[in-house]
Amino acid sequence: MNLATALKNAGQAFPKNPAVALGAATVQSYEELSRRAGGLAKGLKTYFGLAPRDRVAIASKNRPEYVEAMYGIWWGGLTAVPANAKLHGAELSYILEDAEARVCLAGPELAEAIVKHRPDSLEHLIVFGTPEYEELFVDHTSDVTETVAGDLAWLFYTSGTTGRPKGAMLTHANMDAMAKAYQLHIDPTGPTDAIIHAAPMSHGSGIYMIPHVNRGACNVVPESAGFDPAEIFELADVWPGTSLFAAPTMIKRMTECAADPPIEGFRTITYGGGPMYVEDARAALERFGPCLTQIYGQGESPMTITVCARDILADKDHPGWRERLASVGVTNPAVEIRVADANDEMLGIGETGEILVRGDTVMKGYWQNAQATQEALRNGWLHTGDMGVMDEDGFLTLVGRAKDVIISGGSNIYPREVEEVLLLHSGVQEVSVIGRAEPEWGEIIVAYVVGDAPEAELDALCLNSIARFKRPKIYHRLHALPKNNYGKVLKTTLREIDAKFCLK
């Protein structure tokens, strides 16, 4: 089924419902959004000769046109290639060239960078808000193009923290399964609800656009086109039944924001994309109440590997509450999970191994990268590269990336558990732990700390909380941890910084 069919249906079932808003103002009803998507689909084919399965890139900050652009691409049976607006022009060029995108729909803020780094494969650059863009809407009579389950809907480019980003091939069937999982297991949504797109629509927030369109809910784009906690609070008062997807760093900023939170609160704040430390989750629950839901997913199985429901996160009386806050929840019923050893054999309760996933949400493979596809999908399972441990109640706790495990004196040390302890100190704002090569022990633990906590107090905290061999041997202070465009700490950059310390 073509994802755009759900928009066509919403246009018929909820024609006057607000579909897209900019701040407090409705921009399009569902009847209008459906008509625009059909017109864009026909315009892309009429003007540029695009055929089903051709790739169309979107490079833009969040803006109202993002919704019609995505659905117009799908309406025409084309494949969307959203790119993060924070990327450098050279990085955008790589994605455009690798995807062989013939057309790019761009925000005006990125047009110059794309022209400067334009690959030969890109035939047309159309900027949102220009007459050239509006000319694409020549006709509104096109029917939704039929697709089969294996047709690509979204080329999702990974963040590339360890090298060039890869394009995860997400089919219409993958994304349809994701949307159903959202409705059933994460955040049931209705036609009077809304989602605020404060995170990039090129990634997590845009993915959750799909279940909201399916149900005739409103997609709200902040006027700032980004993330401002005070603005989010104000919009939640304007639009009832508001949800948003946020990275843990965003929730921390919301929790610490001095502005008054929305009067009626949030319907749901779904968080993922990185670890939420226990103290940050506890503080957010105190500020916003029982509206938090956690998911764990990857671009290769978007937003659907595990879920920790709001009632579990809010159940402070449960004896295992803190441990559950530190987890990423239980297996999403849309998939199967296995914590496995190096031979892909399932490990027992409490044993640490790589997290493997299979199900209808798992990608088709990596675009034009057979070797990476074979490595990631071997033996019928998606190999996430994440290390985790399952408890007896089925709660999965992430302990880090497989490549981030520190081996010191023959013992495996997982950075997450050390970081959680250090964050208990009020003088630690952020922390990231890495390993440094050392002749005697193999590796020693180095902690990069943002904050003014004395080293002696951090040492004492560790000695009172975890085994002595897990205590950092060296502490370095930074004004901020290096992060990628999605807020994930770049341990690769920390290792480069650490290498320079070793040369001094």
Report pLDDT digits (tens) over 156-166: 998 654 457 89
Q: pLDDT tens digits, residue range 162-178?
A: 457 899 999 999 999 99
Number of domains present in the structure of the chain: 2
Q: Is the pLDDT of residue 41 over 90?
A: yes
Percent of the chain whose pLDDT exceeds 70: 97
Does residue 400 lie in a domain region? no
Give the per-residue pLDDT at 163.
Answer: 56
pLDDT average, residue stretch 315-339: 96
- The confidence band for 328, taking pLDDT boundaries of 50, 70 and 90, is very high
Give the per-residue pLDDT at 184.
Answer: 95
Residue 417 CB contacts under 8 Å (≥ 6 apart), including other chains? 399, 466, 470
Q: Is the pLDDT of residue 133 over 70?
A: yes
Number of H helices and E strands in the chain, helices first, is: 18, 25
Give the per-residue pLDDT at 159.
Answer: 65
- The confidence band for 91, taking pLDDT boundaries of 50, 70 and 90, is confident
Does residue 233 lie in a domain region? yes
Percent of the chain whose pLDDT exceeds 90: 80
Biggest CA-to-CA distance, the chain: 72
Give the per-residue pLDDT at 340.
Answer: 96
Sign of the alpha-carbon dihedral angle for 274, 294, 176, 173: positive
Q: Is the pLDDT of residue 153 over 90?
A: yes
Residues 377 and 487 in one domain: no
Residues 193 and 55 in one domain: yes
Task: Give, for 157, the enclosing helix (H) or strand (E).
Answer: strand 152-157
Task: Report the DSSP pairing between strands 396-401 and 18-22.
Answer: unpaired
Does residue 395 lie in a domain region? no
* Model confidence, pTM: 0.85
Does residue 398 lie in a domain region? no
Does residue 416 lie in a domain region? yes
Residues 419 and 368 in one domain: no
pLDDT average, residue stretch 202-221: 97
Q: Is the pLDDT of residue 373 over 60?
A: yes
Give the per-residue pLDDT at 467.
Answer: 75
Hey, is 82 helix, strand or coil? strand
Q: pLDDT tens digits, residue range 447-465?
A: 999 999 999 999 999 988 8
Q: Which domain holds residue 435?
A: 405-503
The CATH number linked to 497 is 3.30.300.30
The CATH number linked to 178 is 3.40.50.12780
Q: pLDDT tens digits, residue range 251-272?
A: 999 999 999 999 999 999 999 8
Domain final residue, candidates 336, 358, 390: 390
Q: pLDDT tens digits, residue range 380-425?
A: 999 998 889 999 999 999 887 777 878 786 667 878 888 988 999 9
Does residue 384 lie in a domain region? yes
More reliable by pLDDT, 435 or 465: 435
Sign of the alpha-carbon dihedral angle for 62, 242, 185, 254: positive
